[in-house]
Amino acid sequence: MTCRRSGFGLMVAGAIVTLVGLAVALIHTFAIPREWTTVIVGVALLGAGVVRAALRRWHPGAGAA
């Protein structure tokens, strides 16, 4: 299997680590209770899925392997 975009996986990993760090900092800064952390993560994932689906509608060939 060949990689079309060299370094893309590292960029995605860096984005994930950055978002997790940002989320931890925001939760600590605003003193959000731990019980709400799971809800926030779930809503963020749903939002990311909606955005991805919307972008795929605009570009039908996007994301095809």
**How does pLDDT run across 9-42, given as a tens digit for each residue?**
899 899 989 988 998 899 999 999 988 888 988 9
Question: Measured at the alpha carbon of residue 20, what is the angle toward residues 14 and 40, in degrees to the nearest 5?
Answer: 140
> Who contacts 52 (Cβ-Cβ below 8 Å, separation ≥6)?
63
Locate the domains of the chain by residue range.
34-65
Q: What is the pLDDT of residue 8?
A: 84
Q: Is-above-0.75 flag for pTM?
A: no
**How does pLDDT run across 45-54, given as a tens digit for each residue?**
899 899 988 8
Question: Is the pLDDT confidence value at 65 over 70?
Answer: no
